[in-house]
């Protein structure tokens, strides 16, 4: 498919202008073109949540999103969490509470949870489960992920997403 008019977007706070074929999905733009490989490809069908990024702050499955739909938008990937190499409270909580094992689902969970805590700083357990219900983890049984999100609420809010 041929490239057409350039796409403008901000990725992790950095403005970009790119020529992108109309059939390019956001996941490929991030992983292949921009080398942001923290966003994972787990199913290509929107069923696992591993490719979750924030599109204007909203958790979005990048495998089901055409890159062109991000025109004018701000995309936040796992590489965009935290500032100056510091982990966010949520990332720290994931480390300390054993919320990551194989780590493949972790970026997706972190982005979904970041959006949740931005809008609801003190969610109930049920609200956390609902907010993360689009993300599958096969290692942890979710227990430590939920504990980590709750711990992050107690210790401090994550940095607001750009």
Partner 1 sequence: MAKSASGPAVPPHPLAPASGKGYRLIGRRLPLVDAALKVTGRAEYTDDLKRPGLLVGRLLKSTQAHARIAGVDVSAARALPGVAAVLTGRRFPTPFGVLPMTHDETALAVEKVRHYGEWVAAVAAVDEETCEKALRRIEVRYEPLPVYDDPGVSERPVTEKIHARALRDTNIQKEVFQHFGDVPRAFQEAFAEVKVQGRFAGVNHGFTEPHCVLAEASPDGRLTVWSATQVPHYLLRALSEVLGLPLHRIRVIKPEVGGGFGGKSDPFPHEIACAALAVETGRPVKLLLDREDVFYVNHGRHPTRNLVRLAADEKGTFTALDVEALLDGGAFSSFGVVTTYYNGVLALGPYRLPSFRYHGVRAYTNHPPSGAMRAHGGTNIRYSLEMAVDALAERLGRDPVALRLQNLLPADTQTVNEFRITSNGAEACLLAARDRSRWRERFRQLPYGEGIGVACGFYISGSNSPIHFTPRFPQSTVHLKVDVDGGVTIHSGAADIGQGSKTLLAQVVAEVLGIRMDRTRVAAVDSDTAPVDLGSYSSRVTFMMGNAAKRAAEELREALAQAAGDILGEPPAGLVFEDERIHRDGSPEVGVDFLAAVHRAMEHRGALVASGSYESPPMGGTFKGAKAGTAPAYSFSAYVSQVKVDLETGFVDVKKVWAAFDCGRPLNPLAVEGQIEGSIHMGLGQLLSESMDYRGARLMNPSLLDYKILAPQQMPEVECLLVGGEDPEGPFGAKEAGEGPLIPVLPSVGAAVHDALGIRFLDLPLTPDKVFRALERARREGTARKPPLPGETREG
Write each residue from 91 to 130 as x if it is in contact with partner 1 (CB under 8 A), else as -, in one continuous string. x--xxxxx-xxxxxxxx--x---------------x-xxx
Closest distance between partner 1 and the C-beta of residue 141, in Å? 3
* Interstrand relation of 74-76 and 58-61 (parallel, antiparallel or unpaired): unpaired
Residue span binding partner 1 (CB under 8 A) among the ranges 2-10, 86-94, 116-124, 151-159? 86-94
- Name the residue nearer to partner 1 (CB basis): 8 or 24: 24
Sheet holding 74-76, edge to edge: 14-18, 7-11, 74-76, 52-55, 58-61
Closest distance between partner 1 and the C-beta of residue 55, in Å? 17
- Name the residue nearer to partner 1 (CB basis): 56 or 130: 130
- Name the residue nearer to partner 1 (CB basis): 68 or 92: 92
Closest distance between partner 1 and the C-beta of residue 144, in Å? 6
Of 75, 64, 67, whose CA–CA distance to 5 is shortest?
A: 67
CA dihedral in degrees (100, 103, 108, 110; nearest 10)? Answer: 30
CA dihedral in degrees (51, 157, 160, 105; nearest 10)? Answer: -10
Q: Is 70 in the site for partner 1 (CB under 8 A)?
A: no
Q: Do 36 and 79 form a contact (C-beta atoms < 8 A)?
A: yes
- Name the residue nearer to partner 1 (CB basis): 70 or 145: 145
Write phi, then psi, for 93 (nearest 5 degrees). -65, -40
Closest distance between partner 1 and the C-beta of residue 27, in Å? 11
Kindly identify the residues of this chain, within the stretch 26-65, that bind partner 1 according to CB under 8 A: 31, 35-45, 47-48, 50
CA triple 70-75-80, angle to 5 deg: 165
- Name the residue nearer to partner 1 (CB basis): 39 or 71: 39
């Amino acid at each position: 498919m041929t490239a057409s008019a350039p796409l403008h977007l901000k990725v992790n706070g950095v403005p970009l202008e790119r020529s992108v074929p109309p059939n390019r999905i956001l996941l490929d733009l991030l992983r292949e073109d921009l080398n942001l490989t923290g966003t994972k490809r787990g199913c290509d069908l929107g069923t696992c949540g591993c490719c979750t990024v924030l599109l204007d702050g909203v958790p979005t499955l990048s495998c089901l999103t055409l890159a062109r739909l991000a025109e004018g938008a701000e995309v936040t990937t796992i590489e965009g969490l935290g500032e100056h190499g510091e982990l966010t409270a949520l990332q720290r909580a994931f480390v300390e509470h054993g919320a990551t094992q194989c780590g493949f689902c972790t970026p997706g969970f972190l982005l979904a949870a970041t959006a949740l805590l931005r809008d609801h700083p003190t969610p109930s357990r049920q609200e956390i489960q609902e907010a993360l219900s689009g993300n599958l983890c096969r290692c942890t049984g979710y227990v430590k992920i939920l504990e980590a999100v709750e711990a992050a609420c107690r210790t401090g809010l994550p940095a607001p997403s750009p």
